[in-house]
Every structure is written in C-alpha cells, then in structure tokens.
Amino acid sequence: MTFARCGEFFDGGMARAGRRNRFQPSYASAAALVMLLALSAGMAGSAVAQETAWEEGHASRARLIAGAGDGTQLLAGIEIELTEGYKTYWRHAGDSGLPPEIDWSGSRNVADLSLEFPAPGRFRDASGTFFGYQDEVLLPVMITPTDTGEPVTLSVSLSYGVCKDVCIPAFADFELTIPVAQSGSHAPRLADASRQVPRRVTPGEPYAGLAFHDHDLTDDGKLALTVEAPPDALLMAEGPDYHWFLDPDEAARTDSSGRQVFTVDFAETPREITGATPFRFTLVGDGAAIETLIEIPQEALRTLAGH
C-alpha cells in the first residue's frame, strides 16, 4: 500500500504572532536561509555582538542573540544552557515534557517569524521516552521585517521545560533591537545551528545519505517505514495535534536490500477519525537530518488506531 503524500503541513500557529504550538511549525525560505548562512560565514567580524543578558531559570539560563541580516531577512537565536545532568525538549517532546514555546506578539517591525529546531537526541527516563537536548541548544529564529529600512525590535516571552528526575517549566523574557542589515560575532554559531535543522525533502529524495522510501501497514496494525540511513539512525514521528502520539522503534531492522525499516505504533489516537491526515517524520543519522510529510488515508488510519 502506498499512501498519498502531503505537500504542505498544517497552516497557522508557528508563522504568526502569538504563543507557539508545537504541532504547527512553519518553514523558513530555503533561499533566504542560504543567503543568511553565507552572510554569517563571511561577515562574522564586521560588527559588535548583540545579545540580551542571561535570564536564569530552573537549572538553566537563556538569552536572545543576534546573527546575520541580508537587508530583507534576519537570523537570530534563542540560546539555552543547562546545568549538568539536565535536558530540555524538542518541538515534539515525546511521552513527556514541555517543548519550547515563544510569544513574539510584542515585537516591532516584525512581519513574520519562524522558530527552528536543530535535530534532537532521544532520551528515556522514568516518565518514558522524549526527544530533546542536553547541555545546551541554540534555536535559530528567522525574522522577516515589515519595513526593511528600519531596525527590528524583537520582544519574546519564552517558556521551556527542564528535566532531570522531574520536569519543571522555565520562563524568560527578552527584548533586543537589531539592525536588519548587520552581522555579529554570534553569526557563525547561528549558521551552524541552522545547518542542523532537518532538511525538508519529498519521499524518495536523497540528502546526505538519508532518504524516505516505502511505507505500508504491518500485519499487526502498525506503520512500517523504509528509509535509507545508517543502522543507528533515529526516527521521530509527529501528528497534527495532541490527540496523536506516535511511537517509533528505538532501532530499525535491516531488510534484504540493506535499507532500514522502522515500525511506528500509533499509540494514542482520536476517538473519531475523519478524513486523511498528514504526519511528519524526521530522520537523523551520520550528522545529518531530513523530514518529510506523509498523508495517510482515513481507512488506513482506522486500522492503525485499532478502530
């Protein structure tokens, strides 16, 4: 069985002012990101670094830093440092945890903003499995100004979870005014963090030795996803809202062609399933990461949900 492919993920939340919803991400323009990475590499020494003061949270601290701008878009970042032994969460935390969310509605001269997430690791604790980061993480922020001739004032309220034995929320508020065409000493680090954000691909499209291939239903009512990846690759799966929890295998099996096959359990689903639904899959391996969207039809979803 081959499922239809969905060209667009969920419209809304992540691309508009207000609190971020972990299931409504947006994607920065690839061309704009390439230009900003080039500026970050080439202009890093041309301006004094800009950053806010550190805001202390539970076993952590966070700040907002400025990166490169090309006159039309600007790359900034939210930097979180963690006390040894603590972790924070990816955009989809897994069984437990609190993913980072931001409210930028108080910003000035900002037409659009996208919070990006570098590829995470997979962790297990007493609460279950979750995806996230340990020690530190730098989350790129892509900003589109309303008026490219004026500075951007970025006003951000951040909430994020910090976990060791229990998970505790942390909060921080930042405000930073950034010239649209500028670059500071943080630009190379932001460029590196941006390169770690999973590359969006279509099924079958290879990137850095990774690719998504076939997907089908197993005899026991799970989703089998065949990928091109190293044996120790990591797969993450996301539904459109909190009603869905997808639990992929921690490790894939190798099929007769040498490809890796992950089994995904649809562990939690809505009571009512109406219509086809898009799901996002992220594959991490050998220092690279990709993501793709797969739309699963209603009949197959009912089988996966055990209805």
- The model carries a pTM of 0.82
Domains defined along the chain, listed by start: 13-195 (2.60.40), 199-304 (2.60.40)
3-state SS record for the chain: CCCCCCCCCCCCHHHCCCECCCCCCCCCCHHHHHHHHHHHHHCCCCCCCCECCCEEECCEEEEEEEEEECCCCEEEEEEEEECCCCEEEEEEEECCCCCCEEECCCCECEEEEEECCCCCEEEEECCEEEEEEECEEEEEEEEEECCCCCCEEEEEEEEEEEECCCEEEEEEEEEEEECCCCCCCCHHHHHHHHHCCCEECCCCCCECCEEEEEEEECCCCCEEEEEECCCCCEEEEECCCCCCEEEECCCCEECCCCCEEEEEEEEECCCCCCCCEEEEEEEEECCEEEEEEEEECHHHHHHHCCC
pLDDT by residue (tens digit) across 67-79? Answer: 888 888 999 999 9
Q: What is the pLDDT of residue 17?
A: 46
CB-based contact 98:167 (threshold 8 Å): yes
* pLDDT for the residue numbered 203: 92
Q: What is the pLDDT of residue 271?
A: 92
CB 162 within 8 A of CB 130: no
Q: What is residue 84's predicted lDDT score, i.e. its pLDDT?
A: 96
Q: Per residue of the chain (307 residues), give pLDDT as tens.
A: 433 333 334 433 333 344 443 333 444 444 445 444 444 444 444 444 489 999 999 999 999 999 888 888 999 999 999 999 999 999 987 766 789 999 999 999 999 999 999 999 988 777 777 899 999 999 999 999 999 999 999 999 999 999 988 889 999 999 999 988 777 789 899 999 999 999 999 999 999 999 999 999 999 999 999 999 999 999 999 999 989 999 999 999 999 999 999 999 999 999 999 999 999 999 999 999 999 999 999 999 999 999 8
Q: pLDDT tens, 217-249?
A: 999 999 999 999 999 999 999 999 989 999 999
